[in-house]
């Protein structure tokens, strides 16, 4: 029970990595606020958490809208311990080149992938400082923000998330606020499969994606959730400013 007694907000917890993190947090004893633009999806995550004996509540949240994020953060009645800024969207059309992005493509990717993380990080820090006893921020980045890996604007937003995380770690350190980021590689079993142009067999896609990783396997949402538990637990009390690749060795090549 590594998170016993802690309260965590997980954005984008209605599916994929967010749902996996929310469920693992609940299994480790955390009270989880499952925030998602799709409230029905968040409620399904809550149902699964409660069925497994955990504690969770669903709230609607649009991370691109700052008042919406602030409302969720301020809505935690007692102490907030953890905020996971996980929401992200993929490149809108498979194989899209930099020069083929429209202004609308750019604005949407930045609004969700970067501005959304900024809002969560900003209001998480504000709440932690008000409480006066520290806290943990975990952001979802990507290996696409560490190396050139296609999806140019998507990768740029994730690179921005990484730099924001480092800045938050340094600025938050005097207040015992830790900030880290996950950097997953290819995850074909999540909604991001559409970014690979999936139109057929998911398992075939998984084998193709896994072949790009030295360990030979695709990355799963559960892989990310396991790392999230550690980084948000007291076992990582002296870990901050880390961009942790969950990539089967991809960026080590």
From 154, 189, 230, 250, active-site residue: 154
Round to whole Å and give the CA distance between 82 and 169: 14
Answer yes or no: are the C-beta atoms of 249 and 145 closer than 8 Å.
no
Round to whole Å and give the CA distance between 110 and 52: 36
What is residue 243's three-state secondary structure? Answer: strand
Sole residue written with tokens 């409480």: 131
Bridge partners, 58 (sequence order) = 34
Can you say how many angstroms the Cα of residue 184 is from the centroid of all Cα atoms in its chain?
A: 10
Rg (C-alpha) for the chain, rounded Å, is 17
Q: What token pair was written down for 253?
A: 């090549």
Edge-to-edge, what's the strand order for the sheet holding 243-246? 55-60, 31-36, 7-11, 82-85, 135-140, 177-184, 243-246
Answer yes or no: are the C-beta atoms of 66 and 119 closer than 8 Å.
yes
Judge residue 46's burial from the number of C-beta atoms within 10 Å of its C-beta, 0-12 exposed, 13-18 middle, 19 or more buried. Answer: buried
Is 154 catalytic? The answer is: yes
Q: List all residues 6 or more positions away from 5 whose beta carbon is below 8 Å from its beta carbon.
A: 29
Round to whole Å and give the CA distance between 33 and 13: 9
Active centre residues (catalytic): 154
């Amino acid at each position: 029970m590594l998170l016993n007694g802690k309260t965590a907000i997980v954005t984008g917890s209605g599916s994929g990595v967010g749902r996996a993190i929310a469920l693992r947090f609940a299994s480790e004893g955390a009270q989880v606020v499952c925030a998602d633009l799709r409230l029905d999806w968040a409620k399904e995550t809550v149902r699964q958490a409660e069925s497994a004996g955990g504690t969770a509540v669903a709230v609607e949240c649009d991370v691109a809208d700052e008042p919406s994020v602030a409302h969720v953060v301020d809505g935690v009645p007692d102490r907030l311990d953890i905020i996971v800024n996980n929401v992200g969207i993929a490149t809108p059309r498979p194989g899209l080149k930099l020069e083929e992005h429209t202004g609308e493509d750019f604005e949407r990717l930045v609004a969700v992938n970067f501005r959304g993380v900024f809002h969560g990080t900003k209001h998480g820090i504000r709440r932690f400082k008000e409480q006066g006893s520290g806290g943990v921020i975990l952001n979802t980045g990507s290996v696409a923000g560490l190396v050139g890996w296609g999806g140019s604007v998507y990768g740029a937003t994730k690179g921005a998330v990484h730099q924001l995380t480092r800045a938050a770690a340094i600025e938050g350190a005097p207040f015992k606020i830790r900030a880290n980021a996950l950097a997953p590689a290819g995850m074909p079993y999540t909604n991001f499969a559409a970014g690979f142009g999936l139109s057929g067999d998911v398992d075939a896609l998984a084998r193709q994606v896994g072949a790009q990783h030295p360990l030979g396997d695709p990355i799963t949402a559960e892989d990310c959730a396991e790392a999230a538990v550690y980084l948000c637990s007291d076992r990582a009390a002296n870990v901050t400013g880390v961009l942790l690749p969950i990539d089967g060795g991809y960026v080590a090549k």
